[in-house]
A and B are shown apart, each in its own frame.
Chain A
Amino acid sequence: MKRLYFDYHMQIKYTSPASECHFTIKCIPIDSEVQFVEKYDIHIEPDNVYSTGVDSFGNKMVYGTVRDEHSYFAYRITGEVAVGLGKSDIVENENMVGIYKYPYGLTVADTEIQKYYDLLMKNMDEFGIESKCSDYDKSIALMHRIHEDFKYQKNVTDIYTTAEDAMKLGCGVCQDYAHIMTTLCRMMKIPARYVAGMMTGEGFSHAWVEILDGGRWYALDPTNDIIISDSHIKLGVGRDASDCQINRGVLKGGGNQTQVIHVIVKEI
């Protein structure tokens, strides 16, 4: 168990005035059996006015609208979370498990992923699994393979890149690693979901995967090739990144936008 302090700061600047800016932010850690949110504070600018809710995936959200003209939009969420409280997480809603078994949105396989999958299945020995392995062991073997075969590279993909396209490129960022792994797990009949969150250090948000085995969720980080224990804070889950997109907005005007995200997570 560790206690982590986090500070998630996002700012968008507009070159011309924006109005009717609608926002939905899913950036609030949730209590579960692996993490406990001791406190958090949220502040939105220019107006600190918002509604709160929970989406159907169980993610907390805040949303609202800045109607009047404004030149920037920013939010900051800080807090303290106890992490590493357990090795696996509880299934919050039994009725929702089904959605994590099927391809959806950015995790729909096409020829490239199918080719990769077929190759893995053909060379099971080399892949390091047997059919009698548990889903957990299979997923770990899969994570090692993806980590080995896929290259980390910034600025080649964006938030709308599909697992299929990332596989074709052979490189990408944490979101792409997570999408590819989620897609392949589901092809292997292992329920899997995308997780948005943060990791100790300084920089950006992070993404990884949870797989289901024996009625429990296990968190695996294919970007870093690690089984998650006490260095990650979970913010949201979904079938793909779009279900738990940290912030989403539509607005009028605004001209060119520059977005700066700064995340700090450190042990306390």
Chain B
Amino acid sequence: MNDMDLLEHTGVVNELLARYGVKFGIYKNNTFKEQLFPFDAIPRIIKKKEFDYLEKGLKQRVVALNLFLKDIYSDKKIVKDNVVPEDFIFASSGYMAECEGVMPVKGIYSHISGIDLVQGKDKNWYILEDNLRVPSGASYPMIARELCRKGSPRTFEKTKIEDNRNYAKLLRRTMDHVNVDGGHTVILTPGRYNAAYFEHSYLAEQTGAHLVNGSELIVENDKLYYVKYNGEKERVGAVYRRISDEYLDPMNFNPESVIGIPHIFDVYKKGNVALINAPGNGVADDKGIYYFVPKMIKYYLGEEPVLNNAPTYLPFYEEDMKYVLENFDKLVLKDVAEAGGYGVVFGNSMTKEQKEKFIALLKSEPRRFIAQEVIDFLDIDILEGNEQVPRKADLRAFVLMADEPLVWKSGLTRFSRNPDSFIVNSSQGGGFKDTWVLSQ
């Protein structure tokens, strides 16, 4: 990528992003800090043929994950058939017994899935993680593209790239597909102190949905209403909620929640409103269940997985435990209950003492951890001053489940600014890039 024109605009684009409020808020030691989400102008470029392959694999994976969720909250055939041990369901922190027997509108659980991938030095792509609760990040490459087009229009004239600004259309189609009785579609935000508030407001603006907080929605006569400024009430048919399950409804989940809507879960259960994504999805995206996704694909679809997981071991199984103990130093260990890059340790980075302590913990709580081979990421260049330097990066692809699965022809590429780090999470100071999918 030698498009100097675009690269020269890095500063301008970052300034514009700051002006638009493209920020990331994080809580650290109980204080709220907002930081810019640094944009790097060198795009990740994916060729059409390569993306076609990713698209096929991503659709397959998300279809299987949706079938899994439907199965888990009803008959649990996959457990009865001994494909997934029940420990990984009932002892999972993401499993919600309250969702048993509840069928979301049109049977869709994960309307918006954020699937994290990496490309290895061997050029193979590996799935790192599925995010099926409230995955964020699509707005960043959307607005970055918009601003880059303004800053350097010529770049986009000569390169044939899939226009990623269509994400709003795909999202609208997804929300409309499950909307009940043609009511309003709203995006429910916990408010401006949320890490992803920029995204909430941007997606509302781009899709034409109302941006609301919990106090603007009420349940009456088993239906959900949006209360307008003048007190009038209008029916709501779909809620793209950007708050987590436990805060969604103080009457059914955390009673302390002040950002949720009392009884919203009750009317959702009756099929009177769609919740996007469905509550309870956490059972399908924890790091323990990740191990089973290739098995799910075979089980539900009778197909071989198109995209592979990173080689993963489950110390829960004796054989895997043995392998993990024997190969401890070359593996990365992950706590299944943690997210955001936390709870990840590299075997070779531990002191002897730490290692002994960790192994004791692993043996006492084998279900709590997974171990993976360390994938040697294919580095991507970023700009540092005027220099291009290689850094680790991943890709969050977005798969939407409307009347059919839709893969957004772009994605959020996140990179680590630290040359030695594999951890790219924005909550840990990483930056982002646009992802270009070539259209020919």
Chain A interface (Cβ < 8 Å from any Cβ of B):
22, 24, 51, 53, 55-57, 63, 65, 93, 95-96, 98-99, 101-102, 104, 239, 243, 248-250
Contacts and interface: CB of A to CB of B under 8 A. Distances in A.
Given A63-B251, A63-B263, A250-B262, A98 B98 contact: no
B90 A98 contact: yes
A250 B97 contact: no
Interface in B68-110: 74-76, 79, 86, 89-91, 97-102
Contacts of A101: 86, 90
Contacts of B99: 56
Contact of B251 (A24, A93, A96): A24
Query: What class of interface size applies to chain B in its complex with A?
Result: 20 to 34
Given A65-B263, A239-B97, A250 B75 contact: no
A248 B91 contact: no
Contact of B98 (A56, A63, A95): A56
B251 A56 contact: no
A57 B255 CA distance: 19
B250 interface: yes
17 contacts: A51-B266, A55-B98, A56-B99, A56-B101, A63-B263, A65-B220, A95-B76, A96-B100, A98-B76, A98-B86, A102-B90, A102-B91, A104-B97, A239-B97, A248-B251, A248-B255, A250-B251
B278 to A, nearest CB: 14
Contacts of A22: 250-251, 262-263
A146 to B, nearest CB: 24
Chain B at the A interface: SS class: loop
Nearest to A99: B97
A121 to B, nearest CB: 17
Contact of B270 (A53, A243, A250): A53
A243 B252 CA distance: 9
B177 to A, nearest CB: 25
A56 B102 contact: yes
Interface of B: 74-76, 79, 86, 89-91, 97-102, 218-222, 250-252, 255, 262-263, 266, 269-270
B72 to A, nearest CB: 9
B222 A98 contact: no
10 tightest A-B CB contacts, nearest first: A22-B262, A56-B100, A102-B90, A98-B90, A99-B97, A250-B250, A98-B86, A51-B222, A102-B91, A24-B251
A99 B90 contact: yes
Chain A at the B interface: SS class: mixed
Contacts of B97: 56-57, 96, 99, 104, 239, 243
A55 B263 CA distance: 12
A145 to B, nearest CB: 26
A25 to B, nearest CB: 11
Contacts of B221: 51
A95 B270 contact: no
Nearest to B76: A95
Contacts of B255: 248, 250
Nearest to B92: A102
A253 B72 CA distance: 41
A253 to B, nearest CB: 14
A98 B91 CA distance: 10
Contacts of B263: 22, 24, 63, 65
Given A63-B251, A95-B75, A98-B89, 4 more contacts: A22-B250, A57-B97, A104-B97, A249-B251
Among B74, B250, B262, B269, find the residue whose CB has the most chain A CB atoms closer than 10 A: B262
Contacts of A65: 218-220, 262-263
A12 to B, nearest CB: 15
A96 B266 CA distance: 19
A95 B222 contact: no
B174 to A, nearest CB: 26
B233 to A, nearest CB: 12
A96 B97 CA distance: 8
Nearest to B87: A102
B222 to A, nearest CB: 5
Nearest to A96: B100
A15 B74 CA distance: 46
Nearest to A61: B266
A10 B220 CA distance: 24
Contacts of A99: 90, 97, 100
Nearest to A22: B262
Contacts of A63: 251, 263, 266
